[in-house]
Amino acid sequence: MRRRVAEPLRVLVAGWLNSPHVTAWVEAVEAAGHDVHLAGRDAPQLPASASNEKVHRLPAGAPPLVRGLRMSHALARVAADLSPDLVHAHFLTEFGWMAAREGLRPLISSAWGSDVFGVRGLSLSRSRRALEGSQLAFADSKHLARATREFADVHVEVVRWGLDMDAYAPGNRAAARQVLGVDHDGPLVASVRGLEPLYNPVLLLEAFARVHQRRPSSKLLLKSPTQHVTTKTTRAIERLGLDGAVIMLGSVPAERMPDVYRAADVVVSIPSSDSSPRSVWEALACGSSVVVSDLPWAREELVDGKHAVLTELEPLAVAEAIERAFDDEQLEVEGRRLAETELDPSTWSMRIDALYRSVVESG
């Protein structure tokens, strides 16, 4: 029997157990007063997650197709045991597909961007099935919402999680570098988006090489989930003569991420496709000057030269954008102000609560 909607809901979130995005969402839903359980598997490229009585690990030790079916059945068993009021699946091609395949209802699916933009083949059919089986879909930008609606006839709401503005706040740059073990007192450019081709690490290195010529004391900090450096990245560092000018930073505890942003003079995020990434908003909240790809989401949500510097994906353009960001202290002020306006935790907590309850009420 369903609980009365005035009472806290039992919510089953399905997603990557060790993803900071999923765990942040769980925290936001808990902040709205609900009983939240998390089911899924660890993303292999991230540090392993901790276990507790509300974390339900799905069997992941099998080839992809078999693994998907086993996890799908296991997710259904978790849902049967918990009898949640609502299932919320993150990432359409895996957890959204599983929840829809098992007929879990009511279901909300969150699109992440890479499960919509450029998706094809089996992933395309799975994303579509996830949306067709959902009563509501979430997207974190208007651009992603529009693209998601093209997949299926489903209602899509633009929803983001709030951000702790006390934790993610401007601070002392030298102190942040000391905490991270970054022994450098000159100009520092940072990227936190990983080394996969989507995030254009070689392009960033080529742009930074130009910046380094003008500012020989500058360094580039590359933060990725692991300290493993891809061959292409290593070769680019050698080819560009950047040995000693690049700092590799591996996995950082979530509570230390604000120090990564505070340590940098400029934070760069230049993926080929994206949708209102959390890391950009975190950097803005920390008062960092930010350079981002000139993508649809950025044009709709950020004012170029006021909140951030938007750039084409070309080495000279990125280098010039970084130089602009170095020299414009007003970016730090306006970026922080925008983050305060857009990511107030209580505002988003109430919105999540209202949307959850509307789906539960509609059955």
Strand partners, 136: 108
Compute the C-alpha angle 265/18/172, nearest 5°: 25
pTM value?
0.90
Give the residue among 113, 150, 146, 109 at the shortest CA–CA distance from 131: 109
Strand partners, 120: none
Pairwise CA distance, residues 7 & 34, whole Å: 9
Domains, the chain, ordered by start:
10-162+344-362 (3.40.50.2000), 173-342 (3.40.50.2000)
Helix 201-214 / helix 315-326 crossing angle, nearest 10 deg: 60
Q: Give the number of residues written for the chain.
A: 363
The per-residue pLDDT for range 273-329, each reduced to its tens digit, is 999 999 999 999 999 999 999 999 999 999 999 999 999 999 999 999 999 999 899
Contact (CB, 8 A) for 3 and 326: no
In order along its 363 residues, the chain shows pLDDT tens digits of: 344 446 999 999 999 999 988 998 998 899 889 999 999 999 988 888 988 999 999 999 888 889 999 999 999 999 999 999 999 999 999 999 999 999 999 999 999 999 999 899 999 999 999 999 999 999 999 999 999 999 999 999 999 878 999 999 999 999 999 999 999 999 999 999 988 999 999 999 999 999 999 999 999 999 976 556 778 999 999 999 999 999 999 888 889 999 999 999 999 999 999 999 999 999 999 999 999 999 999 999 999 999 999 999 999 999 999 999 998 999 999 999 999 999 998 898 889 999 999 999 987
